[in-house]
Chains A and B, each alone.
Chain A
């Protein structure tokens, strides 16, 4: 069953740092600090914009099982969506 697509807010600028990233929403002027994990998830959105796709990539990058990876991805994505840094589109 196709998953919802996760779309980045085009007004958000991402600045990568060694230990994470900072997102700045140019519309609201709010900014957010991301740790390394959240930064990877943000970066994954360009190529694998679904929860399943992100979780799958996390399993290989962090040597973690799928279920914990999915839980982490869901946690981060929920926060990103709540802050309107991403939106969800039906598949």
Chain B
């Protein structure tokens, strides 16, 4: 494949330890925090989310962070109505306020409609580094949802005006697949998290953040990324990089999805792509969706997913050992079949023509995957 000159990979000009430059924060977003170290951490995380935050204004968003002793962290008020837990968090509602509580570690109280959130966090140097980002992301994503931007764990790339969403949990292969697609001339939005918004009857997606968290072993396959191992290591051993540094012009700020590709890593020799029904696609989207605890907002999120599924062709992609051996070739083969709407290495067909008494009438899926790791913390 020959890519246009501005897309050709080039070695990094320098092995700077500054792997990425966070974005500027919008003027309508304010953060108050009296603890300098925590203030710096939160500002760093918010800059990381700058691509997504940019869409949430111009109505103000105000975050107030309190660093306190564990016993001073407020609990959920006794007169609040308990809602379904989200991961490790207890959730409740009192009037317009939502509460997310992680006993002894942190609490978020927010009015998403007003864009105001108070966050209490226990000061402890041994705290899980993801605790700060987890609490802040709860506030950010609830406000985003209230403003019509709905969170989805998904990589996103685009080519020729068509967006490809790759929804999936951590470890499903989103990053390696997105990176390989970028090297094949696709443009990227993000490797991990998008915000969906509905306008004029269709869905667009924007990245919540644009940096990739790269597995060093995977990145080292590509000569232009050989410097990645010298970047500061994240807690999980990966390296953070804005791909624009190596692939100038490759970043895209928005995409209109036309394909849903659900990746999984398998041990089989050959990769397979199987077309799936819209119902199956919808059920696969739900666990990757960060749905608000506010029922009215959650329903709007569900309607956005309905539009997304309506507008997209959906596939399950199982990438096998051929992807490790020859990622570019495998990806080319797979994307060709996606564009032709075919299944590659034909799997099951979607269920068709059911009559009465045929098959399972009602299948229960998982509960929504809520309160999972904060976007970008992987």
> Is A4 among interface residues, defined by CB-CB distance under 8 A?
no
Docked Cα-Cα span, A34 to B279, in Å, equals: 9
List of A residues within 8 angstroms of B291 by Cβ:
29
Which residue on chain A has the smallest CB distance to residue B363? A33
Q: Is the CB of A19 within 8 A of B279?
A: yes
Docked Cα-Cα span, A80 to B305, in Å, equals: 23
> Is B354 among interface residues, defined by CB-CB distance under 8 A?
yes
How near does chain A come to B145, taking the closest CB pair, in angstroms?
13
List of A residues within 8 angstroms of B355 by Cβ:
37, 62
How near does chain B come to A87, taking the closest CB pair, in angstroms?
16
Q: Given A19-B279, A29-B370, does the pair A13, B362 have CB atoms closer than 8 Å?
A: no
List of B residues within 8 angstroms of A37 by Cβ:
354-358, 361
How near does chain A come to B306, taking the closest CB pair, in angstroms?
5
Docked Cα-Cα span, A62 to B354, in Å, equals: 10
Residue picked from A32, A41, A68, most chain B C-beta under 10 Å: A32
Set A15, A21, A24, A72: member contacting B356, Cβ < 8 A: A72
| One of B129-137, B157-165, B240-248, B294-302 at the interface | B294-302
Docked Cα-Cα span, A36 to B279, in Å, equals: 11
List of A residues within 8 angstroms of B84 by Cβ:
27-29
Q: Is the CB of A27 within 8 A of B83?
A: yes
Which residue on chain A has the smallest CB distance to residue B285? A22
> Is B139 among interface residues, defined by CB-CB distance under 8 A?
no
Q: Is the CB of A17 within 8 A of B356?
A: no
Docked Cα-Cα span, A52 to B34, in Å, equals: 66
Docked Cα-Cα span, A58 to B366, in Å, equals: 30
Q: Is the CB of B362 within 8 A of A32?
A: yes
20 contacts between A and B (CB under 8 A): A17-B278, A18-B278, A19-B350, A24-B302, A24-B368, A26-B295, A27-B295, A31-B365, A31-B368, A32-B365, A33-B362, A33-B364, A34-B362, A35-B359, A37-B361, A38-B361, A64-B356, A76-B362, A79-B362, A80-B362
Q: Is the CB of B361 within 8 A of A34?
A: yes
Docked Cα-Cα span, A36 to B354, in Å, equals: 7
Q: Given A19-B279, A26-B299, does the pair A35, B361 have CB atoms closer than 8 Å?
A: yes
Apart from the given pairs A19-B354, A22-B286, 9 other A-B contacts in the complex at a CB distance below 8 Å: A19-B279, A22-B283, A26-B299, A29-B86, A29-B370, A37-B357, A62-B355, A69-B356, A72-B361
What bracket does the count of chain A residues touching chain B fall in?
35 or more
Q: Is the CB of B298 within 8 A of A26?
A: yes
> Is B123 among interface residues, defined by CB-CB distance under 8 A?
no
List of A residues within 8 angstroms of B277 by Cβ:
17-19
Set A15, A19, A41: member contacting B352, Cβ < 8 A: A19
List of B residues within 8 angstroms of A1 by Cβ:
none
Q: Given A26-B295, A28-B84, A37-B356, does the pair A19, B278 have CB atoms closer than 8 Å?
A: yes
How near does chain A come to B367, taking the closest CB pair, in angstroms?
4
How near does chain A come to B309, taking the closest CB pair, in angstroms?
7
Q: Is the CB of A35 within 8 A of B351?
A: yes
Q: Given A31-B367, A68-B356, A68-B357, does the pair A15, B282 have CB atoms closer than 8 Å?
A: yes
Task: Tell me the chain B residues, 266-324 only, with Cβ under 8 Å from chain A.
Answer: 277-280, 282-283, 286, 291, 295, 298-299, 302, 305-306, 309
> Is B6 among interface residues, defined by CB-CB distance under 8 A?
no
Shortest beta-carbon contacts, A-B, top 3 = A38-B361, A17-B279, A29-B368
Q: Is the CB of A72 within 8 A of B357?
A: yes
Docked Cα-Cα span, A29 to B305, in Å, equals: 15
Q: Is the CB of A32 within 8 A of B363?
A: yes
How near does chain A come to B54, taking the closest CB pair, in angstroms?
29
Q: Is the CB of B364 within 8 A of A28?
A: no
> Is B360 among interface residues, defined by CB-CB distance under 8 A?
yes
Docked Cα-Cα span, A11 to B305, in Å, equals: 18
Q: Is the CB of A13 within 8 A of B83?
A: no
Task: Tell me the chain A residues, 34-91 only, with Cβ under 8 Å from chain B.
Answer: 34-38, 41, 58, 62, 64, 68-69, 72, 75-76, 79-80, 83
How near does chain A come to B314, taking the closest CB pair, in angstroms?
11
Q: Is the CB of B286 within 8 A of A24?
A: yes
List of A residues within 8 angstroms of B286 by Cβ:
22, 24, 31
List of B residues within 8 angstroms of A31 by Cβ:
283, 286, 364-368
Which residue on chain A has the smallest CB distance to residue B287? A31
Docked Cα-Cα span, A41 to B361, in Å, equals: 10
